[in-house]
Amino acid sequence: MLPAIFGLSGPVLTDDERAFFRDADPAGYILFGRNVESRAQLRALTDDLRALHGRMRTFICIDQEGGRVARMKPPVWAAYPPGERFDRLWDTAPASAIEAMRANAEALGLDLAEAGISVDCLPLLDVREPGAHDVIGDRALGSEPLRVAALGRATLDGLLRAGVMGVVKHMPGHGRAQADSHKELPTVTASAEELERDLRPFRRLKDAAVAMTAHVRFTAWDDQNPATHSAFVIEEIIRKQIGFDGLLLTDDLDMQALGGTVPDRAARAQAAGCDIALNCWAKMDDMVGIAQALSPMSAKTAERLERALVPTAAFDGPIDMAAQAALVDKRDKLLALVG
């Protein structure tokens, strides 16, 4: 199996994609708005991906956070609130915020499970910092580390109740970034002592099955490389200081925070210690190059991937709409405590 996750160009597999994916056998796939049209179409697409490899449990992921980051949109699917809404509720009623987040994540997860999506790139554990770039902004679960951890745990729990695995991101923290890593490399100059604050939510959720790196350079740890390409950050900070032993994905390798060709970016990430190279944009030349650049999947990565997929489940039929509506109603009544 190739230690890569690839994107798809449209709502159905092209002949070239089908042939390449069958031969390359990637660890999984990521879906975007261009791949999503209707409930029936999306389920047919994910069924097709599973059938390619004969694996019922396949890593098929999506960025379905709520708020401004949502690939499955109304009117076909419901809109979900951003993380900031639950942070505001916490100011009034912490226990209610946790329960609202758990209900929200389960309702959202039911949409994904019905579509045959096994993994959601959520929750963000980035601690929000005043004055930072708005690329995180209202997506964050707050500016207090333990609050972020508690709401992140509720998110993972809710998703799992729906049979969907969550991904904690962006390890070891994107909250201080003064630039958008989609466009340029952010450099964080905070001291190691100051960065302890950013690590706390990740330490609390170190038992998560899957995490995603940040394309951010932390001068206190490695003044040359972003976390995704830093062996020191991955081994000493993520694996040892945080204690994370789950499946570690890169953030999207197409983002301009990284230099070099996309296949080179993938190879550097693997050499630094990332388990899986994530490439979102379905450019065939890049995907072929990544397949050539990466070493075969290690036994440790294969074990982490298998562990992450064990709790996931693909539904055979439509979701229980009444049960989902009850979860949404519960969430909305709790959120209404703060207007």
pLDDT tens digits, 244-300: 999 999 999 999 999 999 999 999 999 999 999 999 999 999 999 999 999 999 999
Quick check: 313 pLDDT over 80? no
Element (H, E) at 3: strand 2-7
Residue 133 is a catalytic residue? no
Q: Which is catalytic among the residues 198, 251, 252, 286?
A: 251
Choosing from 91, 182, 223, 285, the catalytic residue is: 182
pLDDT score, position 12:
98
What is the helix, strand, coil percentage profile of the chain, to 5?
A: 45, 15, 40
In angstroms, rounded to a whole number, what is the distance separating the alpha carbons of residues 104 and 236?
Answer: 35
Q: If you write DSSP's letter for every residue of 173-202 in order, what string do you get?
A: --TT-SS-TTTS--EE---HHHHHHHHHHH
Q: What is the DSSP letter of 140?
A: S
- Which of the 8 DSSP states describes residue 241? I
Q: DSSP letter for 226, please.
A: B
Whether pLDDT at 193 is above 80: yes
Residue-level pLDDT at 120? 98
Give the pLDDT confidence of 130-175 residue by residue, as tens digits: 999 999 999 999 999 999 999 999 999 999 999 999 999 999 999 9
Active site residue 182: yes
Res 115: pLDDT: 96
Mean pLDDT across the stretch 4-17? 98
Cis before residue 75, ω within 30 degrees of 0? yes
Closest CA to 171 of 108, 111, 125: 125
What percent of the chain is modeled with pLDDT above 90? 95
Report which residue type is found at 184: E
CA distances from 273 to 19, 107, 237, 327 (A): 29, 34, 12, 39
Rounded Cα distance between 162 and 319, Å, is 10
Whole-Å CA distances, 319 to 9, 115, 297, 316? 27, 10, 35, 9
CA distance 270 to 60: 20
Q: Where do the domains of the chain lie, and which CATH numbers do they carry?
A: 63-277+302-338 (3.20.20.300)
Answer whether 0.95 is exceeded by the pTM. Answer: yes
In the predicted model, what is the mean pLDDT of residues 57-62? 96
Average pLDDT for 237-246: 98
Q: Looking at residue 56, what is its pLDDT? A: 87
Q: Check whether 31 has a pLDDT greater than 80.
A: yes
> What are the pLDDT digits (tens) for 70-115?
999 999 999 999 999 999 999 999 999 999 999 999 999 999 999 9
Residue 317 has a pLDDT of 75
Tell me the two tokens of residue 161.
Answer: 């109740």
Please name the residue ranges forming H helices in the chain.
Answer: 15-24, 39-53, 83-92, 94-114, 145-161, 192-204, 231-232, 262-272, 284-293, 299-309, 321-335
Question: For position 242, what pLDDT does the model report?
Answer: 98
pLDDT at 316 > cutoff 90 = no
Q: Which residue has the tokens 């690590």?
A: 199
